[in-house]
Structure 1
Amino acid sequence: MNYAEQSAYSDPGAHAALLDELPSDIAELTAVIRNLLIHYRGGGIEFTGDRLEEINHRWVEAMLATDQRRNGTPLAAPREPADRIVGCCRDYTLLMISALRHKGIPARSRVGFSSYFAPGFHHDHVVVEYWNGDRWVLLDAELEPAEHWGFDVHDIPKGKFDSAAEVWRAFRAGEIDGDVYGVDPSLPFRGGWFIRNYVFLQLAHLQRDELLLWDGWGAMADDLEMDLTPTDELAALLIASDAGDEAATAKLRDRYREDPDLHPGDRVLVHSPSGTPPTWVDLSTRQKVDAP
């Protein structure tokens, strides 16, 4: 998998020239990314209507188009919080990956759960992993570097973030309480079924299909009333691949291409937190469509 090349989702398209002048220093680059985005739930501003719909920008090209319509200035030029693109962790990650790939640096998104936002709960999260020439480095492009995190957000240590596959394995082994893994303790989007769906998201992102966290397809479900063995096998392959098992990596690639339960295909069902009804989107035309 060539993580130095843009995917359909990370490709800046007509706005590629905007990335030419971005800094190469990782800390400076993440500062630019934070200048472009504001989290739809954690940014301190309540967005509604069309502004809230910005969280459904699936492609970097669309994000940059929105930014340029609103601001029309170089990406490093300061933006007021209210003028930033409304998004979430996935969007901070994808914009950072786009910038890194534009510079020829291999980068990919990692889907899982973080333990550093609130004690006792593991929030769903997407972070960046990039190749620094010697190893894959995990970084959180959303976080302002600060001492209170207790670690370097540009080099996340093991144990602060766990992949969805690792969490699923621990859940199935009875080692964790699935109800403390999800979007938020106050919301019903947590538990075993939620963790399972994120295993499919993890696979898609590693195959360079960096879909929205609320896109649905294939074998995803809001319960665990099915044979869980295939998910166990998938998680085991993902963990082995992360450990450098090339055979597992090849098997994941082939399964993703061939199994319609794993691959989103042409259409996804969007369950947007903006409050709009579930909507089908054609990934090739980038348009809303009727149900298949």
Structure 2
Amino acid sequence: MTLDDYRAPVGMTDPGARAGLLDGLPADVATLAGIVQGVLIHEHVAPAYGVTLTPPQHAQAHQRGIATVLDCIARQDSRALPQARPAGERVVGVCRHFTLLHVAMLRRQGVAARARCGFGAYFQKGRFIDHWVTEYWSAGEDRWILVDAQLDRQQRDLFGVTFDPLDVPRDQFLVAGDAWRLCRDGAADPATFGVLDMYGLWFVASNVIRDVAALNNREMLPWDVWGAMTANDAEIDRAFIDGLADLSRAPDGQDEALRAAYEDPRVAVPGTVFNAVLQRPEPVG
């Protein structure tokens, strides 16, 4: 994939009929992250804001396309996006939604940006927690920079984050391929990678597939299951994931290989995936 493949909203980042909401926004990565934080609230961090979510609010976390998310935001509050909503009136999502909206905003302005799936080392000591962040291309610095658009001041204090969330160190957020390689080399314990009560090499392998799909502009929910994903370590095709991990760790300049990897039915997102939280198959839309 080239930089141009990440400069325009496509697929899940396409705002559709709500594209106008993304027009006229500041051309600043930090300000855009702040806007995202003012319209979304994380499903599992809501209590830290004094918010108890209702079942309909929890259901918002299962929205996939950013067009649907923007429509939900606008229906709840018709004001422009830079107008921050009270915490209890924000649309509910998870890290992937913060990332997807941030990426969509950047792409709307022609900035090359993509969502990355992996693990954050800054949420729980000694563990690498399932997480998504933005990766955007800085022409001035001639490099890809990781941004955690979820981390407002309150969350930085809550989790004791001391680094700049606008330039997340690569040892603090591991793209899934890097996490896989550490586990395969024996440099990290797979039992420390996951979320809630789900940890293990199988989780890392599944995120490698999710990350390769995201690099092909198919940014799925963190609990969408398809293809070669399995919850059983014994069923992992380790050689296959090795190849995907190596590709996703250094994806630039490997355009044909990335596309070819995504054409494999073990990686390609089908029309219907399994929602592991709701325990049901769902159309991708």
- Structure 2 length as normaliser, TM-score? 0.91
What displacement does 1:266 show? 1.5
* Other-structure match for 1:266: 271
Q: Which residue number corresponds to residue 245 of structure 2?
A: 235
For residue 165 of structure 1, the aligned residue among 171, 177, 180 is: 177
The one-character-per-residue Cα deviations of 1:179-237 (angstroms, maximum 9, x if unpaired) are 111113xx1x1111111111100101111001101111111111122332111122122
Alignment of structure 1 residues 188-199 onto 2, 5 Å:
189-199=198-208
Q: What corresponds to 2:225 in structure 1? A: 216
State the shift of 1:249 in Å: 3.8
Please state which structure has a larger fraction of its residues in helix: 2
Q: Is 1:106 equivalent to 2:120 in the alignment?
A: no
- The answer on 1:200 being equivalent to 2:204 is no
Structure 2 SS opposite 1:111: strand
Cα deviation, residue 143, structure 1: 0.5
* Deviation string, structure 1 residues 229-286 (Cα, Å, up to 9, x no partner): 1111221222242xx4x2x4421211212x11111121111112xxx3x222222xx2
Whether 2:94 is the aligned partner of 1:88: answer yes
CA offsets 1:133-191 (integer angstroms, 9 cap, x no match): 1221111000025585221110112211111111111112222111111113xx1x111
Percent of pairs with identical residues: 35
The CA distance in 2 between the partners of 1:88 and 1:135, in whole Å, is 27
Unaligned runs of 5+ in 2: none
Mapped partners of 1:141, 1:209: distance in 2:
19
Equivalent of 1:183, from 195, 205, 223? 195
Aligned to 2:151: 143
| SS at 2:149 equivalent | coil
Q: Secondary structure at the match of 2:14?
A: coil
Q: Following TM superposition, by how much is the alpha carbon of 1:67 offset from its aligned partner in structure 2, in angstroms?
A: 1.0
Q: What stretches of structure 1 of length at least 5 have no aligned partner?
A: 287-292
Distance 1:215 1:62 in 2: 17
- Give the TM-score normalised by the residue count of structure 1: 0.89
Larger RCO: Structure 1 or Structure 2 (Cα < 8 Å, ≥ 6 residues apart)? Answer: 2
**What amino acid maps onto 2:271 in structure 1?**
D
- Matched residue pairs, number? 272
Cα shift at 1:76: 1.0
Larger deviation: 80-89 or 146-155?
A: 146-155
Aligned letter for 2:240?
P
Instruction: Name the stretch that deviates more: 143-152 or 123-132.
Output: 143-152
* Distance of 2:138 and 2:186 partners within structure 1: 36
